[in-house]
Structure 1
Amino acid sequence: MIGKVKVNKSFPAMCQYVLQEKHPEQGAEVIAAHGVRTDSAAHMAQDFDAVRAMRPGLGKAVLHVALAFPAEEQVKLDNTVMGRIAQDYLRGMRIDPENTQWAVVRHHDKAHPHMHLVVNRVDLDGQTISDQFSRSRSVEACKRIEAEYGLIVADQVGRKQAREIGPTPAQAKASSPHEQQSADWSRARHDIGRALSYTARQVRSFDELGAELGKRGIGLELTRRKDGSPAGVVFTHEGHRVKGSQVGREYSAGNLQAGFDRPRVQEQTQSQGQQPAAGLKQAADAYALAKLAAAYAKLSQGQQRGQTPDREQDKGLSIG
């Protein structure tokens, strides 16, 4: 199972695309929905936009996910099962399917089963659904669903296809050594990116990441600064060298290290009996109280000298 996540601006355009009203031969079929009408693209978009209006400043409110499965799963995946999978996927993305507008539309224009999930990033309480870490969460959600439903593992399919399908279109069209080298490098980068999407969030150090990538025929070279912090990372595959940032911004050395450190920071915070949000709130409250006390002290000193509070002093008293 593979999920491709995108964030877009227009509900009307997205609803027209997934429902394929202008191309009924594509076989678009609504299999599940919550909080929106499904009789037409216009009605569906109106319902999405009515809730979106609670957050008028949110430019990209449309979460669009294409969920695809291997052709071998065609018999297993009827509409009922795919509807359940869509809701499990939403939960895996930390989206409450009972408090969010969404619609799932299955397309029958390809040999493999696939569906399109349209979600409002403004929930029914008017809160914005974050799109941070959407790619990594999607990978984790897909892996859990594969295990729960006994589906073919997409990572294994991808590696098998890479060995069997032969050259990519760019490789086939290459007419010079330079074009061939560029096409080969692009394919290597794609293979590295696929492997990282399945491994980077499952490990907690560069050593562990290197070991997991090694199983997929990918090498990892890390350079460090004098203080020991990571300076750069390069991945090697089939004779090609690809910087982490060239695969994706989240795979730069610094961002990978931040991902490794995040679980440790959370564990340390929880072991101290204090959640991160609570700690930040306490710090903010203490800062506000300190400023208020300083303002009162300044005002008191001015009164003792027979001075009239100026505008800055009045402004200081408003803090808190």
Structure 2
Amino acid sequence: MFARILKSGTFHDVVGYVTRQFHNPEEYTPDTWRIIGSDNIFISDYAKMVQSFEAVHGFMPGKENPAGHISISFDNADAPRLTNEFMAQLAKEYMEGMGIKNTQYLVVRHLETGHPHFHIVYNRVNLHGKTVDERNNYKRSDKAVKAIKDKYGLTYSPLKDKYEQKKPEFKTKISAAMYGCKSWDEFSRRLACAGIEVKFHDDRDTGKHVGVKFSDGDITLNGSKIDRAFTYRRLNNLFEFNRKHGQRQSNSVPKQPKVTIEYAPAQKPSLVGDVVEATVGAIGNLFTLGPGFDPEEQAFQNAVEKEEAKRKRKSRKI
């Protein structure tokens, strides 16, 4: 059993998708899908279903994309047990585990694919005219799925395990690539070196990027499935911040005045020359010499002080 929380939308679109209203009628006949559960919905036809949902959405008309959408798939090993009644019961228990209650929902089973699965469409506005609590949906979903699998002895999908095993690897590589990154191109190049391809999901109307996913050639994971910090919007905001921050930093760096020190080098080795050479060699580039600094004068003073200290030590011994 494996649950996917899909993008929410309008009831026209989501109900139309699960009931195959926009598919080729020759390929997706009424025998390829069936309604196996519902609550507070007229299910006689597509129009009635949409109208039922929209009536409750009218309590909060400003709620955008009011149709919640979740797909739940099962391993083929469990197929003999998955009657319509059993699937409907699992859908109900899953929604209870998710905390999706006091609202309308529709459960539609699809039969044309190679693996058993059903879709849940629910109203994100509940029967009291308030928003359904969807905080921490992904964590709730994982917990609900695990509880149901353990309760009924359903198969832990090898594919699901594979996805879970790959997540830490993807997360590590993406986290490293995004550090200090200023553009999607730079980000994509960095990840390509780590064997990860960046792919985008585009809005079908505007053609603009609205989602991002990552592939290693074996599996593909949505950014939000790996970590909430890896959604398209958050990554895009991060790159924009890095660009602006880097620009501000470069503009705010004060220009250091150039100081040129010119003096004639001694032709013969001298005490002063030796001291200057040792001092400069030890300090290296740690200090910037000011415009009033005279290295020969400073070396001479150091030598005088050294001789004076020796003289005082000798006088004390006497």
**TM-score for the superposition, normalised by structure 2:** 0.52
When residues 189 and 92 of structure 1 are mapped into structure 2, their CA distance, relative to the original with a 3 A threshold, is farther
Q: CA deviation at 1:182?
A: 3.0
Q: Which residue is equivalent to 1:134?
A: 137
When residues 65 and 243 of structure 1 are mapped into structure 2, their CA distance, relative to the original with a 3 A threshold, is closer
The alignment-based identity, stated in percent, is 27
**Does the residue aligned with 1:58 lie in a helix, a strand or coil?**
coil
Quote the Cα distance in structure 2 between the aligned partners of 1:52 and 1:244.
28
Which is further off, 74-83 or 17-26? 17-26
- AA aligned to 1:71 is N
When residues 192 and 36 of structure 1 are mapped into structure 2, their CA distance, relative to the original with a 3 A threshold, is closer
Which is further off, 4-13 or 70-79? 4-13
Q: 1:41 aligns with which of 46, 49, 56?
A: 46
Q: CA deviation at 1:87?
A: 0.3
Q: 1:64 aligns with which of 43, 64, 69?
A: 69
Q: 1:119 aligns with which of 114, 119, 122?
A: 122
Q: 5 Å matches for 1:54-133?
A: 54-96=59-101, 99-133=102-136
Q: Which residue is equivalent to 1:218?
A: none
Q: Is the 8 A contact 1:190 1:247 kept in 2?
A: no
When residues 187 and 54 of structure 1 are mapped into structure 2, their CA distance, relative to the original with a 3 A threshold, is same
Larger Rg, first or second structure (1 or 2): 2
Q: 1:159 aligns with which of 158, 161, 164?
A: 161
How many residue pairs end up in the alignment?
189
Residues 41-91 of structure 1, C-alpha deviations (whole Å, 9 max, x = no match): 111000000000001111121110011111111111110000000000100
Q: Is the 8 A contact 2:69 2:119 kept in 1?
A: yes
Q: Is the 8 A contact 2:5 2:69 kept in 1?
A: yes
Quote the Cα distance in structure 2 between the aligned partners of 1:151 and 1:248.
34
Q: 5 Å matches for 1:268-307?
A: none
Q: 5 Å matches for 1:150-299?
A: 150-154=153-157, 156-159=158-161, 181-183=195-197, 186-187=214-215, 245-246=229-230
Residues 85-122 of structure 1, C-alpha deviations (whole Å, 9 max, x = no match): 000010011122xx210010000121110001000011
When residues 162 and 88 of structure 1 are mapped into structure 2, their CA distance, relative to the original with a 3 A threshold, is closer
Is the helix fraction higher in 1 or 2? 1
Q: 2:37 aligns with which of 24, 32, 40?
A: 32
When residues 146 and 50 of structure 1 are mapped into structure 2, their CA distance, relative to the original with a 3 A threshold, is same
* Mapped pair 1:9 → 2:21: no
When residues 83 and 110 of structure 1 are mapped into structure 2, their CA distance, relative to the original with a 3 A threshold, is same
Quote the Cα distance in structure 1 between the aligned partners of 2:228 and 2:51.
42
- AA aligned to 1:39 is S
Q: CA deviation at 1:159?
A: 3.4
Residues 250-289 of structure 1, C-alpha deviations (whole Å, 9 max, x = no match): 9xxxxxxxxxxxxxxxxxxxxxxxxxxxxxxxxxxxxxxx
Q: Is the 8 A contact 2:104 2:123 kept in 1?
A: yes
* Unmatched runs of 5 consecutive residues or more in structure 1: 164-176, 198-241, 251-320
- AA aligned to 1:115 is F
Quote the Cα distance in structure 1 between the aligned partners of 2:163 and 2:11.
35
* Unmatched runs of 5 consecutive residues or more in structure 2: 166-190, 199-212, 235-318
Quote the Cα distance in structure 2 between the aligned partners of 1:16 and 1:243.
30
